[in-house]
């Protein structure tokens, strides 16, 4: 079979047995990938696409980086996996040490898990178990803001936006939590007390029921790609302290440089009590995530019943994934990623600005290596996705958002191709 026939055959086989994310049983359109390198996806039919998604924001160094692959080969020859119950290994211990040193101050215990959703699930469980250990079982609800997205597992769905989120279909099935207005202060606008008044009111009214406040710092990701003022986080930290409520940051999407700082919390100089990491932790090579917590949280759980954190994924602390994470962190330490993100930010601002004048566009916003064009109406994926492929790029919009999160190693010419394609497809 020629390349086009091979691609068609793979799609046909896929339609018989595979179920893809956020899609009906027979996903359409569907594009088979043969290989990937740098910022390019090589399709089975012979076409080559510039990737503007970083594989759902994780492949920050591009695909098949030789340093990460070398680390995987080395680890594979010694220890590809071992259970983490009762056993330990150097890649995991050293990774926990590095994450403690890298993340905001005060987080000194790390639980390694296997996906971003699970890292947030663990964070929620930690918050609940903290209060159970303190003899306060009534503090079993969470407070968050509208417009958030925290994952696809049961506990995480319950703190995603309950009306406009991806999981509103499950209302009535999920646990009931408290939702405040999302931060309305844009990233580059002054913060005012009115921006957090609704959240403060809910803390005052329901604080004795609330285990923790959970939100994505500075950038709300899949819930709306909204960027808000860092001062909001500083005020939130003070409110959580005042009401004796745990503060949980979900940095699955914002961690490891995407916003221009290593972590979203760094924009505000704020430390949470619990922090979840994932996605680009391994440079998009293998699945790995982590939940960090303060000594106050971990020691309280240790002193309570049953004295252990009651969670244990089979593949937690997988040595291969830990090796990939070390290689990715090494690259962040030795390459000018901040300069690259600043260059991408400038290119995204320039390249997406023409969309602002289009009749069907309601907003254009850029922060770090994130560029967003918000439309007035939801996109028609059956039309938009093929149009992007025809322009030689991989861009995966959702709802009313057409956005770019390219790898940090994307060159100017490749970024121009991405932004030109967005402008052309949005223009119609």
Domain that holds residue 316: 69-334
Q: Of 9, 22, 168, 176, which one is the catalytic site residue?
A: 22
User: Looking at residue 175, what is its pLDDT?
Assistant: 87
C-alpha count within 13 angstroms, C-beta hemisphere, residue 341: 21
User: Looking at residue 380, what is its pLDDT?
Assistant: 95
Same domain, 33 and 177: no
279 catalytic residue (yes or no): yes
Last residue of a domain, one of 301, 334, 367: 334
Same domain, 88 and 53: no
Share of the chain above pLDDT 90, in %: 96
250 catalytic residue (yes or no): yes
Last residue of a domain, one of 286, 304, 334: 334
Contacts of 322 (CB under 8 A, 6+ apart): 75, 89, 91, 92, 94, 95, 112, 288
Contacts of 49 (CB under 8 A, 6+ apart): 40, 41, 43, 389, 392, 393, 394
Same domain, 250 and 381: no
Q: How far is CA 73 from the centre of its chain?
A: 27
Residue 305 sits in a domain whose CATH number is 3.40.640.10
CB atoms under 10 Å from CB of 410, counted, come to 25
pLDDT at residue 182 is higher than 90:
yes
Q: How many structural domains is the chain composed of?
A: 2
CA geometry: angle 71, 74, 80, nearest 5 deg? 100
Same domain, 13 and 119: no
* Closest of 282, 328, 332 to residue 113, by C-alpha: 282
Same domain, 358 and 405: yes
Tell me the whole-structure pTM to 2 decimals. Answer: 0.97
Q: Residue 161 — very low, low, confident or very high, per pLDDT cuts 50/70/90?
A: confident
The DSSP output letter for 403 is E
* Closest of 159, 124, 189 to residue 367, by C-alpha: 189
Are 424 and 355 within 8 A, CB to CB? Answer: no
Q: Of 51, 152, 161, 250, which one is the catalytic site residue?
A: 250
Q: Of 125, 130, 279, 403, which one is the catalytic site residue?
A: 279
Are 310 and 302 within 8 A, CB to CB? Answer: no
Q: Residue 174 — very low, low, confident or very high, per pLDDT cuts 50/70/90?
A: confident
Q: Of 63, 130, 149, 232, which one is the catalytic site residue?
A: 149
Same domain, 50 and 150: no
Are 249 and 272 within 8 A, CB to CB? Answer: yes
User: Looking at residue 162, what is its pLDDT?
Assistant: 81
Among the residues of 18-153, which ranges form H helices? 54-57, 66-76, 90-102, 116-133
User: Looking at residue 167, what is its pLDDT?
Assistant: 67
Question: How many residues are present in the chain?
Answer: 428
User: Looking at residue 224, what is its pLDDT?
Assistant: 92
pLDDT at residue 300 is higher than 80:
yes
Same domain, 151 and 48: no
Same domain, 132 and 265: yes
Average the pLDDT over 46-74 and give the result: 98
Q: Residue 234 — very low, low, confident or very high, per pLDDT cuts 50/70/90?
A: very high
Average the pLDDT over 286-296 and give the result: 98
338-374 pLDDT, tens digit per residue, is 999 999 999 999 999 999 999 999 999 999 999 999 9
Last residue of a domain, one of 294, 314, 334: 334
User: Looking at residue 259, what is its pLDDT?
Assistant: 98
User: Looking at residue 408, what is its pLDDT?
Assistant: 98
The encoded tokens of residue 300 equal 């309280």
304-320 pLDDT, tens digit per residue, is 999 999 999 999 999 99
Average the pLDDT over 167-181 and give the result: 85
The encoded tokens of residue 279 equal 């996605």
149 catalytic residue (yes or no): yes
């Amino acid at each position: 079979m020629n390349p086009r026939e091979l691609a068609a055959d793979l799609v046909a086989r896929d339609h018989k047995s595979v179920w893809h994310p956020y899609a009906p049983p027979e996903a359409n359109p569907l594009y088979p990938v043969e290989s990937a390198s740098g910022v390019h996806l090589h399709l089975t039919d012979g076409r080559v696409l510039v990737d503007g998604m970083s594989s759902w924001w994780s492949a920050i160094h591009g695909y098949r980086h030789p340093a990460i692959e070398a680390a995987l080969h080395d680890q594979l020859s010694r220890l590809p996996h071992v259970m983490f119950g009762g056993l330990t290994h150097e890649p995991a211990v050293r990774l926990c040490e590095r994450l403690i040193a890298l993340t905001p101050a005060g987080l000194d215990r790390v639980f390694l898990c296997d996906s971003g959703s699970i890292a947030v699930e663990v964070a929620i469980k930690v918050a609940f178990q903290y209060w159970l250990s303190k003899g306060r079982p009534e503090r079993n609800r969470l407070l968050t803001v509208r417009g958030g997205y925290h994952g696809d597992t049961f506990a995480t769905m319950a703190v995603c936006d309950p009306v406009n989120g991806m999981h509103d279909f499950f209302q009535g099935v999920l646990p009931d939590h408290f939702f405040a207005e999302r931060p309305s202060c844009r990233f580059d606008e002054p913060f005012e007390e009115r921006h957090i008044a609704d959240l403060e009111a809910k803390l005052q009214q329901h604080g004795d029921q609330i285990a923790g406040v959970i939100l994505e710092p500075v950038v709300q990701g899949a819930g709306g790609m909204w960027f808000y003022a860092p001062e909001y986080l500083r005020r939130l930290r003070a409110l959580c302290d005042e009401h004796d409520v745990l503060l949980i940051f979900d940095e699955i999407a914002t961690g490891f440089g995407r916003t221009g700082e290593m972590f979203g919390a760094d924009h505000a100089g704020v430390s949470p009590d619990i922090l979840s990491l994932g996605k680009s932790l391994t440079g998009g090579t293998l699945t790995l995530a982590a939940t960090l917590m303060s000594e106050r949280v971990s020691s309280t759980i240790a002193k309570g019943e049953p004295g252990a954190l009651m969670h244990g994924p089979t593949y937690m602390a997988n040595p291969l994934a830990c090796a990939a994470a070390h290689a990715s962190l090494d690259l962040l330490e030795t390459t000018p990623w901040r300069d690259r993100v600043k260059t991408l930010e400038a290119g995204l601002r320039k390249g997406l600005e023409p969309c602002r004048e289009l009749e069907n566009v309601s907003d254009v916003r850029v922060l770090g290596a994130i560029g967003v064009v918000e439309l007035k109406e939801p996109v028609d994926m059956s039309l938009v996705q093929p149009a992007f492929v025809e322009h030689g790029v991989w861009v995966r919009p959702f709802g009313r958002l057409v956005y770019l999160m390219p790898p940090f190693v994307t060159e100017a010419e490749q970024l121009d191709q991405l932004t030109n394609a967005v402008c052309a497809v949005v223009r119609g």
